[in-house]
Structure 1
Amino acid sequence: MANLKIAGLCKDYGPVEVLKNIDLDIKDGEFVVFVGPSGCGKSTLLRMICGLDEVTSGALAIGDQIVNDVPSSKRGIAMVFQSYALYPHMSVAKNMGYALRLAGEDASEIDRRVKAAAEILKIDHLLDRKPRQLSGGQRQRVAIGRAIVREPEVFLFDEPLSNLDAALRVDMRMEFARLKKRLGTTMIYVTHDQVEAMTLADKIVVMNAGRVEQVGAPIELYHAPMNRFVAEFIGSPRMNILPAGLVADAPAGADTVGLRPEQLVLGEAGLRGKVLTTERLGSDTFAYVEIDGLERPLVVRKGGDEALASGLDVTVGWGADALYAFDAEGRALQVAPLKAAS
């Protein structure tokens, strides 16, 4: 196991800056998730940690060693990609042990490691099968097993569940959670899926346009975003953003305020609007309410048994501890929601 330290890391492709002065400390044994919109640089950062992309400037250390110029194969890292990339003509066992065979490991040691990894992943009964005989989830387990057998100091995962259907993603999230507890190894995981990030991470790194916006525990980022970007990115449905002028409780200096869907209530004193449509998801109902002066409808979270007719006139209000306030630059004016005026 190992800690990682990234200091002033930059990546340029000619005149294009992809990563801009990244500073990160990842502790030994942490499960860290990089999230952000497409093109934010999260996969590039992962590839630089792995050694697949060169560092333009800055320092990247694994343990006590600066690894900027260390080949990928010498960094003690194993990476699992979005694509399973299994050899179709090889059995599961041979796929998992292939890197060890290339490294010249003894056959008995390879067999021991493959069987141990297969038992951890619950695929020990599949070792003689070929990839075409496996489901998507089983193939992903084989790809993870191929990384485990190398006994790396750091695991890197680049959107490993994006090729799976919704049900399999749920199953594999549970597998990753179990794997984290079982192995205790440092893990870095890239995803655009908030559910994966919120449920798996010890620490989330939110990235935007090549920069780190905020680092923290999942619930910390949800309840105490440092800026409007993080506030809108973390949470589904996204935070409602309103001009400060529409909200009587907005503090001095606020340009916009944020209200999460679960903080809004219908029938209270507040903003008048009309229900545009509703989404009934069983456990929750989301009402989309048009408000004059807003580009996007407000999203209000209700109980799953509640039905609201389209076109219904409603009033949207909020209770205490509801408002998030941001200045004209998008910076949070406080790191927790304000109490509404009594």
Structure 2
Amino acid sequence: MENQTCFEYNNCSNHSNGSYYAHFGGPAVHPVSEFIYDYICPVLAVVGIVCNTITFIALLRPPINSISVSVYLKAYCIAAILTWILMIKLNWVLDKSESRHFSSMSQISCRIWSFLTCIVTFSGFWFITGAAVDRVFILWTPIKAQSLCTVFMAKNAVVFILIGLTAVSIHALWMYNMSPQFICYFERGDYFNRLWLWASGFLLGCLPLILLFTFGNLMIIRFCLKHHGRQMPDLSKNEIDVTYAVMIISLIVFSCAMPSNVLHFMHIMNDENGRSLTLLFEFATYISWICYLCVFYVLIIRCNVFRDSLKDAFNEIISRLRRKRAHIELKTLKPEYNQVPSTSTSV
């Protein structure tokens, strides 16, 4: 396809012949890549879904849910779960069962799937970017942060991020087509299509990662100044712990996701150059999976308030299960427990 390109992370694969991450011209051929895709992929998908679900539940509980950054992290957990289920696990199941992918069923399904892929795949980067911006305000402008870094403002920011992603990704609903080989592709066409492809690729993938690198280093600098005698804002220990966690998460997401985004942007700029980078892109994509696993482990290692919330949630679940078990045992020991008392009349 000389004048065609694939923008998303999963629309240009040959699903019946190998890894769906071979976006630049065919299925995976390297044995290591095939092993990762065949055996490690399903395991990581299950671990990712479980870890992000647990993280989301813990973030719903006090006192961590009163911290503004928890809103961004909850949104990120939802995006990560959808990524594991729709963009990785579902594709793996369809590939191994040699079933036809939703994006290759019709022109409409191709465009809808491309639109959803843009939002789901890149929303996580922007949610972490929002969390990093929140923490930078807390560290560098504590007076303004009192009004900007609230749960209410964080919820509004998440809504605006989703609106922005929709506006940038909406082109997929009319710029994608179905090839005779049932491959969903973006036809570069005229100059406007190419310009929009480059702009959307930069806004969705590269820009949030650049911002994460910038804000992550700003947080490092602020903490370094603390050790050189500059006073920190009057923050609680919970706020400090969460800020450290967001700083680490920001740099991990940047480090793991940037290689695949750079290679992908190179493919957008030059399709023939992209074809020669197929194997590199596959391994870079596997590395980017760490982005959707790191939040749980960073929070549980670095954040005391998260561990406390997780422990409370676990204890509550155990307590409910015990009460339910005691209720069942009571009904078993007393058959008349659930019976309606009989009425008798005396003469």
TM bucket by the smaller chain?
A: under 0.3
TM-score calculated relative to the size of structure 2: 0.23
Which has more helix, going by share of residues?
2
Which has more strand, going by share of residues?
1
**Structure with bigger RCO (C-alpha 8 Å, 6+ apart):** 2
TM-score calculated relative to the size of structure 1: 0.23
